[in-house]
Amino acid sequence: MAHPLSSRTSTRILLVAVWSFACGGSGDDVAPQRAEGLRKPQAAIEATADRQSSGTAAVAPPGDSQILFGDLHIHTSYSWDGFLFSLPLVGGEGVHPPADACDFARYCADLDFFALTDHAESMLAENWSASKESIRHCNALAGDASDPDLVAFMGFEWSQAGLTPETHWGHRNVIFPGTDESELPTRPIGAGAKRELHQALGRNMATLRWLQPQGFREYTAFVDYIDALSRREVCEEGVGVHELPLTCEEIAPSPHELYAKLDEWGFETLAIPHGTTWGTYTPAGSSIAKHLDPLHYDRERQGLIEIYSGHGNSEDFRDFRPFEIDADGERSCPEPTADYLPCCWQAGEIMRSRCGDLEASECQARVELARRYAANVDLRPHNVFPDAAPEQWLDCGQCRDCLRPSYGYRPRESVQYAMALSDPQATDADGRPLRFRYGFVGSSDGHSARPGTGYKQIERSMMTDAVGTPGFIIDTFNHWSRRMDDPRMPIAPERGAIGVVGSDNRVASFLYAGGLAAVHSQSRSREAIWQAMKRREVYGTSGPRILLWFDLTNAPSGPVPMGAEVELAENPRFEVRSVGAFQQQPGCPEWSRQGLRPERLQRLCRNECYHPSDERYAISAIEVVRIRPQTRHGEAVAPLIEDPWRRFPCDREQDGCSAVFEDPEYATSGRDALYYVRVLQEPTTALNGAPLSTQFDAEGNAIGTTLCWGDDKDSLAGCPAPVQERAWSSPIFVNQPRRPERTRETSP
């Protein structure tokens, strides 16, 4: 139940603000605080299961597990950015409280499970309490707990963003298995350090409501919400979590402090890193290696990692760097390669284009100065020339050959890089060198309470986080309105600027429809789904519901599935099987149209639901990635990642695809190895399928880009381009047998 509030606070919280302006003056309750949709009809549930199993008998392995699809990363308007994106200045459609997530998951996306993960740093006590109540109500509508139509998990996002590579830990979704009051903490646990950002947003909104009086009510609600956030007291340090006041802001600045607080609560949790390669808040030069510090490492909680979301793909390691460091620790700017254009280099080229009548020596000196300034910025090198058009930066800082990559790609925060790391000086609970053992999931990271976007590549403003980015937001995040006294002289940006909106407006070209988390579950129950996640029998997709099985067939105790870890002396043998996703029909199925009011179905999913036909897309290929983790400190990582190590083309006429393979080098290599498969579906058209659409000259130099603007002013169709959607299995970890310790001989 919601906690009582003082009269002063009660008018300033988002809970009240959401209700006050979401309902509007029409009298139509478009944003209710309780989900409307009842349990899906049993016939619809059975039809989904029958459709999934039909036509896969030749590929699917025997067994009683089933594949369920969900989204473990969804925000509502209880997140500060979710609230911001709902406002008129970005073309927002109004607020989306947690009830929307339940109805969308059940009736629009037809998911099996989802998790609510609003930003802990921007949730008032009343928001947290309301979210828990909403999740409990969503589960109450699901029917028999042993066979629910939908499982809703409760969680929060711990959103840490350091200003330097050394202090950056990144974001984690903390998810709990239970939803009763006794199974959840009293308050979410944030990373802190957001007050200046929130206050700046509040000041700008307070001004904007007078400039856009038609949105006065919405902006005032946001200002009141920001005011309430700013007035929270930080919880006292050294006080146990059970003794802290209800309404204080609980802060854990680092992973080990977060885990310590979760240990105090005593709840089982998953802490899932996500957006690791996303350069909008990840400082240049950051590396996931520091997460292997035993102080911050928690094998049980760190069981999963988000390999793909609506904010891009974080799978691929590429051996490029935004800057070089010399022996004295000074940064310099590397030259471009065929695969990568450093932003510091492009800063120099922008300067060169402005030289005009400058002497050649002076021009070159300023070019070098611009490159040095940009190389020394941890975030947002574009502020070297804040007045430069985003197209002038071409595709600098981006991964050119990755599927829908994260913006400002940070390869040493990628999943592949993480899986290749090892710390031989520290040991895990099993006595082996400390290393990551992540299972892979996908999710959406959407901010409009819409879990499971990506079932159709349409309606960009609904399926992605792409929003308009007026100049005021740019000013708020990084002083981009600062005038240049001399546009032919680069500026040395202040270090430490941070935010979510790209300073050059290119970030909208890197926002996609969401991915999915798939689990091999023994049943539809909450406990079965949770246990599948705990044992890493999961995989991620880029959005489509591709079916995937991956097994080690000669494990000592018999076949084991993806996510397993075994000790093996002989060469491992594997089998992979996959079936493409169903092609979609337009509109919504009849049961969806009957389950929600027409106006609610229109607002939530614009009358476009998950609506499978009987036809599936073909699987084009199965690729196997082999990674052999480091065996010594400082061992080069690139040679350890073999991508692809094996590739199996698939017959497009088959119903699905399968492959059997063996690693003939494992037994004699003396090295542990992990293997995962990446299944590629036949090409289809996708939103933002080719970020920036870079054009090259005959020598391979980038000469132009085509931006996909957040407000769709030049891209009403969402910048479609063909892609090969895919699924990533969790790895199977195969370890060499441990050598018996030698018995030391001693003299009598």
Three-state DSSP state, 433? strand
For residue 25, the model assigns a pLDDT of 33
Three-state DSSP state, 372? helix
Where b means 16+ CB within 10 Å and e means fewer, 202-220 reads bebbeebbeeeeebeebbb
Residues 99-128 have pLDDT tens digits of 999 999 999 999 999 999 999 999 999 999
Residue 32 pLDDT grade (very low, low, confident, very high; cuts 50, 70, 90)? low
What integer is the mean pLDDT of 144-158? 97
- If one counts every other C-beta atom within 10 angstroms of the C-beta of residue 647, the result is 12
Nearest to 731 by CA among 517, 309, 438: 438
In this structure, of 86-90, 246-250, 373-377, 459-463, the range with the lowest mean pLDDT score is 86-90
Q: In the CATH scheme, what is the homologous superfamily, with its name and number, of domain 7-315+412-462+511-687+722-735?
A: Metal-dependent hydrolases (3.20.20.140)
Nearest to 84 by CA among 96, 72, 73: 96
For residue 627, the model assigns a pLDDT of 98
Pairing of β 565-567 and β 732-735: parallel
The CA distance from 235 to 687, in Å, is 43
Domain with CATH 3.20.20.140 in the chain: 7-315+412-462+511-687+722-735
Residues 314-339 have pLDDT tens digits of 999 999 999 999 988 899 999 999 99
Residues 632-657 have pLDDT tens digits of 989 999 999 999 999 999 987 678 99
Residue 479 pLDDT grade (very low, low, confident, very high; cuts 50, 70, 90)? very low
Indicate left, alpha or beta for 270 from its phi (over 0: left) and psi (-120 to 50: alpha). beta
The CA distance from 403 to 406, in Å, is 9
Q: In the chain, what percentage of residues exceed pLDDT 90?
A: 74
Indicate left, alpha or beta for 165 from its phi (over 0: left) and psi (-120 to 50: alpha). alpha
- If one counts every other C-beta atom within 10 angstroms of the C-beta of residue 356, the result is 7
For residue 325, the model assigns a pLDDT of 93
Cα–Cα separations (whole angstroms), residue 467 to 94, 502, 533? 13, 12, 33
Determine the angle formed by the axes of helices 195-211 and 216-230, rounding to 10 degrees.
Answer: 160
Query: Is 529:521 a contact under the CB 8 Å cutoff?
Result: yes
What integer is the mean pLDDT of 224-245? 93
The CA distance from 415 to 315, in Å, is 5
Reading the block at residue 279, the tokens are 């350069």
Residues belonging to the chain = 748
Query: Is 60:549 a contact under the CB 8 Å cutoff?
Result: yes
What integer is the mean pLDDT of 554-581? 97
At residue 581, φ and ψ (nearest 5 deg) are -75, 160
Determine the angle formed by the axes of helices 14-22 and 125-140, rounding to 10 degrees.
Answer: 60
Determine the angle formed by the axes of helices 343-353 and 360-375, rounding to 10 degrees.
Answer: 150
The CA distance from 455 to 42, in Å, is 22
My answer on whether omega of the bond before 722 falls inside 30° of 0, hence cis, is no
Residues 575-608 have pLDDT tens digits of 999 999 999 999 999 999 999 999 999 999 999 9
